[in-house]
Structure 1
Amino acid sequence: MAENRNVVVKIGSALLANSDLLTPRFGFMQRLLEDVARLRNEGYNVILCSSGAVALGLKIVGETPETAGVSDKQAAAACGMPLLLNAYKQVGHEYGFEIAQVLLTLGDFEHHRRFLNTRNTVHRLLEAGVVPIVNENDSITTEEIRVGDNDRLAAKVAQMVGAKDFVILTCVDGLYDRNPDEPGAELVEEVRDVGEYMAATTGTSTLGTGGMTTKLKAANMAQEAGCTTYIANGEYERPLSAVLNGERRCTKCLPHPNPMSGKDGWIANRLQMAGSIEVAKELADELVQNKRSIHREDIQAMDGDFTRGDVLHLYDTDGVERARGLSDFTSEEIRVMIVNPETPPEQLLGYQTKGEIIRANNLVMLDNRHLLWDAPAGMTASP
């Protein structure tokens, strides 16, 4: 398997499902998978991250995109997934390749062991010449444990498999400098810093859960992994190869020239916030020049209920996110250590420990490379 030829493709619901009939758009799928076959013949390993299951199942459960609630959408996903996979399988067989379904939840990305297990499964499928079709397991996920959009899910898959190219197929030509319906709106053909365009990205499609905002968040995650992102219109012949070969207009988000290591990228690129801590601005500034471990006496406030090994977001006292790192303790253990500052950690916890909340080698400074998260409103000060 040629890892440097991995390409991850995210396909939006509006491309896969007819918005009126809520049935598969076989014409689009024919063009898409014909192009997938073309790329495979050129030596690419293609991973598809496909929306569409909920949209295709809505009619079966008697709902519409406007009326469906959470449980309706979960039931629709259970009904629509066999339809979606069957359509992929039928068309894929025309071009001589097999497909496999990989259903994921938030924990498969946020817990490192599950992340590695998922990566191994995807690699094994690629070695066997099978096209993995990845989707969130919408039929069982709740708001607390779901990724929420397939754009960022696909970006995590791109990071997971070390992809060099990440194509997001949608219903517009790419990112515009303002709402594309406004007069004078112009396509942005190349992006280095996605943060410059976040204010111009609002709105979602009728069938999808994400808009251009989630696409730029996904692109930022891919940039940090050294992956080039293309946001392109899928309503063309050769929807993939024409984009990768630079033959038609799209938005190209350039990779960071110094991508993060796999471990640092996994720590820094989060899908949900497990917990957060606040430290003095002076300490946060020092960490940029001389990264060191975070101890209980450094913490001025904290938020969240988390477990050992979860990633904490580190803020300074101005509310600016500065770093992310792996917690060596649960939130309960940290609170016990903080309210008993004079008692040795091992005496409080009942086992030998140095009391480092985040070890230096598990701390990743953001260095203006990432889209920052707002500090949680409920962060409570330490005594």
Structure 2
Amino acid sequence: MTKPKTIVVKIGSALLANQDLLTPRYGFLQRLMEDIAHLRSQDWNVIVCSSGSVALGLRIIGETPQSAGVSDKQAAAACGMPLLLNAYKQVGHEFGFDIAQVLLTLGDFEDHRRFLNTRNTVHRLLSSGIMPIVNENDTITTEEIRVGDNDRLAAKVAQMVGASDFIILTGVDGLYDRNPDDPEAKFVPEVHDVNDYMDATKGKSTLGTGGMETKLQAANMAQEAGVTTWIAQGEADRPLSRVLEGTGRATKFFPNPEPMSGWDSWITNRLQMAGSLVVSETVATELAEVNRPIRRVDVISADGDFTRGDVLHIYDSNGVERARGLSDFTSEELRVMINNPETEAEQLLGYRTKGEIIRHNNLVMLDTRHVLWDAPSSMSEG
């Protein structure tokens, strides 16, 4: 018996909610769930990462996408989530399958233990024939602790479950080399390196929190985990099957032929930056050539408020990101060691340590296939 393949589907708010009435678009849901039922009959596991709870709740609390602040959106999510799940439940029931809700926050992805616990829950649901619907828990998250967009959240889910395919359904039929409203815009059918198109991705939808830029970031994260990614038009009939069968127009992002291990992928595919380090050009080059840790003497400066086990972004003295790795110290401990280079780490911290900031097996060098992060503006202050 062959093992079912898994597909993760991300659906944007504009597809799920009527932009004027802020009510569920049942016609779209009917087409989507019918197609999902078809895929399930073909031995596909399907996971849906759904936006829409905030949009559907705005009308209930008397707000609009333009007027709503953070607390308004949290309240709207609390009101809209039952409407969203009820819509999925009703339509799913017509096609004979059950759904389950999985609410996540940033910490569920950034903390490795919680990451594994979430993965186990999703796999358990799939083994029972239940379709997980994953949402960010917008009712409790603030800007500091939220993922920020469901595109990258869905990419992390695809990485987490080892999906074969990741489809982002949106209002356009794929990626263009510039704003698709431009009459000279050209459709891009295939992408190997998303960095070639990042400059053409500014702007976002009215109801959603992410535009094409976040979709390319999400595609890059999925590529590195060995997942084939697609951006496709959600309004089409059989929006998922037509992509997988190659009969519909969509942009295909090819997976890296040498995907990272699950551990390395978890380290490098971040949703937020916990902290960062600056090392010299010499040290950065040495790290790329020799399998060695980052030691206290290598660190020129540190930025951010982080704890032991957080992933740090490593920059060279020119501000170019070179690696990411798991910190063995808190930001406070690290700064104490940096500011007192002549004193033994054990004497400064009160416990025995080698002073290795990031161990070599917890350090991943970045290459040209990654979307690099800009250095924090505060890093120039040392």
TM-score, normalized by length of structure 2? Answer: 0.98
Asked if 1:240 is matched to 2:240, the reply is: yes
CA distance in 1, matches of 2:285, 2:193: 23
Aligned to 2:208: 208
**Is there any run of 5+ residues in structure 1 with no aligned partner, and where?**
none
Compute the displacement of 1:172 (Å). 0.2
Asked if 1:34 is matched to 2:34, the reply is: yes
Aligned to 1:117: 117
Asked if 1:86 is matched to 2:86, the reply is: yes
Aligned to 1:254: 254
CA distance in 2, matches of 1:152, 1:18: 23
Distance 1:2 1:48, change over 3 A: farther
Compute the displacement of 1:291 (Å). 2.6
**Is there any run of 5+ residues in structure 2 with no aligned partner, and where?**
none
Aligned counterparts, 1:308-327, within 5 A: 308-327=308-327
Asked if 1:64 is matched to 2:64, the reply is: yes
Compute the displacement of 1:10 (Å). 0.1
Segments of 4+ in structure 1 off by > 2 A? Answer: 1-4
Compute the displacement of 1:252 (Å). 0.4
Aligned to 1:306: 306
CA distance in 2, matches of 1:104, 1:296: 35
Aligned counterparts, 1:99-248, within 5 A: 99-248=99-248
CA distance in 2, matches of 1:274, 1:45: 33
Aligned AA (2:75): A
CA distance in 2, matches of 1:180, 1:369: 25
Count of residues paired in the alignment:
382
8 A contact 1:222–1:229 mirrored in 2 = yes
TM-score, normalized by length of structure 1? Answer: 0.98
Which of 108-117 and 4-13 deviates more?
4-13
Distance 1:255 1:361, change over 3 A: same
8 A contact 1:203–1:212 mirrored in 2 = yes
8 A contact 2:4–2:43 mirrored in 1 = no
CA distance in 1, matches of 2:119, 2:234: 27
CA distance in 2, matches of 1:22, 1:308: 43
CA distance in 2, matches of 1:330, 1:3: 43
Asked if 1:51 is matched to 2:51, the reply is: yes
CA distance in 2, matches of 1:142, 1:84: 21
Secondary structure in structure 2 of the residue aligned to 1:144? coil
CA distance in 1, matches of 2:380, 2:320: 16
Compute the displacement of 1:135 (Å). 0.5
Asked if 1:357 is matched to 2:357, the reply is: yes
Aligned AA (1:126): L
Aligned to 2:346: 346
Aligned AA (1:312): L
Secondary structure in structure 2 of the residue aligned to 1:236? coil
Distance 1:381 1:339, change over 3 A: farther
Compute the displacement of 1:226 (Å). 0.2
8 A contact 1:189–1:251 mirrored in 2 = yes
